[in-house]
């Protein structure tokens, strides 16, 4: 099929099915609303083309060029991509579903909502891209590159991101729930309102990172490093923090309720007004930490080292502290009789009515 015929079919919003459209020069072409089904699009040049509302179903796109193209409302279903460049594209409300995506370049793209779902991806590059409302869910992931990218209101749900490069990336309102990021390095990077709940962050490095209200609920953080991190109001509810290192970190008003943090390091950490209710801090190193007004009720502090820790008005209600070391316990609050009475309260059995 020649270029002119394809443009006519696009103008009439026809379906092009089973055609071999290889090596066509469609630079700058207006292909809006074109529908392609089971077509071979190898070496197609779509540089700067308008693909608004196009539908590609079970098509093969290999060594194609879509640099600077417009993808608005564009749908790719069951397609195979290999060595395709989409650099500097404008992408809005585009969808890749059940596709195989290999060697795709999205460098410097601007995305305003795009979804990649139930697809196989290998070697995708989003370097220096602005990714607003990007959704990636249920992907079989290989390598991806988000170097220098800005992710805003993005969702990377249940993705294996261990081979992903995030160097220099910025995160603002990003959901990484149930994703695997084990071993990733985020040294000095910025996260605002990021959801890490139930993610695997084993041995991750957040040294000197800025984590504004990060949510790590039920995350796996064994061996993670937060040395010098700024993470005020972070949530570590029920998180696994065994052996994690928070030396020198600012964790003001963080929530640690029910966290498992045996042998974790909090040397000189700012834990002001922290909530450690029922947390496991056995064997933890809290030397020099600021625990002013912290609530450690029912916490396990067995064999913990709190020498030099500031405990002014810290609540130590019913803590387990066998073997713990203190130098400032006198300024802390001990068991609270009123709280104990409330915890021990049980409803009285009702008396049977007299017959």
DSSP conformation letters of 129-194: -EEEEEEEES-EE--EE-TT-EEES-EEES-B-TTEE-TT-EEES-B-TT-B-TT-B-TT-EEES-
**Per-domain residue ranges of the chain:** 16-141+148-155
Nearest to 324 by CA among 294, 291, 282: 282
Residue 338, pLDDT score: 79
Long-range contacts of 27-31 (CB under 8 A, 24+ apart): 29/3, 31/6, 31/7
Against a cut of 0.85, is the pTM above it?
yes
Bridge partners, 238 (sequence order): none
* pLDDT value for 239: 98
**Comparing C-alpha atoms, which of 172, 154, 163, 161 is closest to residue 139?**
161
The two three-digit tokens of residue 241, written as one number: 């923090």
What pLDDT score does 350 carry?
A: 78
Burial class of residue 12 in the structure, from the number of CB atoms within 10 Å of its CB (0-12 exposed, 13-18 middle, 19+ buried):
exposed
Domain at 16-141+148-155, CATH from 3.20.80.10, 2.160.20.80, 3.30.450.270, 3.40.50.720: 2.160.20.80
> Each residue of 253-279: pLDDT tens digit?
999 999 999 999 999 999 999 999 999
Residue 355 confidence (pLDDT): 63
Q: Specify the pLDDT at position 2.
A: 80
Q: Residues 135-157, buried b or exposed e (16+ Cβ, 10 A)?
A: bbeebebeebbbbbbbbbbbbbb
pLDDT at 5: 85
Over the chain (355 residues), the average pLDDT of each successive run of 10 is: 82 86 90 93 93 95 94 97 94 96 94 95 95 93 95 95 96 96 96 97 98 97 98 97 98 98 98 98 98 97 97 96 94 83 80 67
- Could you tell me the two tokens for 234? 């972070």
Tens of pLDDT along 283-310?
A: 999 999 999 999 999 999 999 999 999 9
């Amino acid at each position: 099929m020649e270029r002119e015929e394809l443009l006519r079919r696009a103008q009439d919003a026809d379906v092009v099915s089973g055609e071999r459209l290889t090596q066509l020069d469609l630079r700058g072409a207006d292909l809006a609303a074109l529908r392609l089904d089971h077509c071979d699009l190898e070496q197609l040049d779509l540089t700067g083309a308008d693909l608004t509302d196009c539908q590609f179903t079970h098509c093969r796109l290999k060594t194609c060029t879509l640099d600077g193209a417009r993808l608005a409302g564009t749908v790719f279903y069951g397609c195979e991509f290999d060595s395709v460049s989409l650099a500097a594209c404008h992408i809005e409300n585009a969808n890749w579903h059940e596709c195989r995506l290999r060697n795709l370049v999205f460098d410097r793209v601007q995305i305003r909502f795009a979804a990649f779902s139930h697809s196989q991806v290998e070697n995708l590059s989003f370097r220096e891209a602005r990714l607003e409302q990007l959704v990636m869910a249920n992907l079989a992931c290989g390598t991806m590159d988000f170097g220098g990218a800005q992710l805003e209101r993005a969702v990377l749900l249940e993705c294996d991101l261990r081979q992903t490069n995030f160097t220099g990336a910025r995160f603002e309102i990003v959901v990484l729930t149930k994703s695997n990021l084990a071993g990733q390095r985020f040294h000095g990077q910025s996260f605002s309102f990021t959801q890490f709940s139930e993610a695997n962050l084993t041995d991750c490095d957040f040294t000197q990172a800025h984590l504004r209200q990060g949510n790590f609920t039920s995350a796996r953080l064994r061996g993670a490093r937060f040395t010098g991190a700024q993470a005020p109001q972070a949530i570590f509810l029920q998180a696994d923090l065994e052996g994690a290192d928070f030396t020198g970190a600012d964790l003001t008003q963080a929530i640690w309720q029910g966290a498992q943090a045996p042998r974790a390091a909090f040397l000189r950490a700012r834990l002001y007004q922290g909530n450690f209710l029922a947390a496991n801090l056995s064997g933890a190193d809290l030397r020099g930490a600021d625990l002013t007004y912290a609530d450690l009720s029912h916490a396990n502090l067995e064999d913990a080292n709190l020498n030099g820790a500031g405990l002014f008005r810290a609540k130590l209600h019913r803590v387990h502290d066998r073997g713990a070391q203190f130098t400032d316990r006198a300024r802390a609050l001990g068991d609270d009789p009123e709280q104990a009475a409330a915890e021990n309260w049980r409803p009285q059995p009702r008396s049977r009515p007299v017959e």
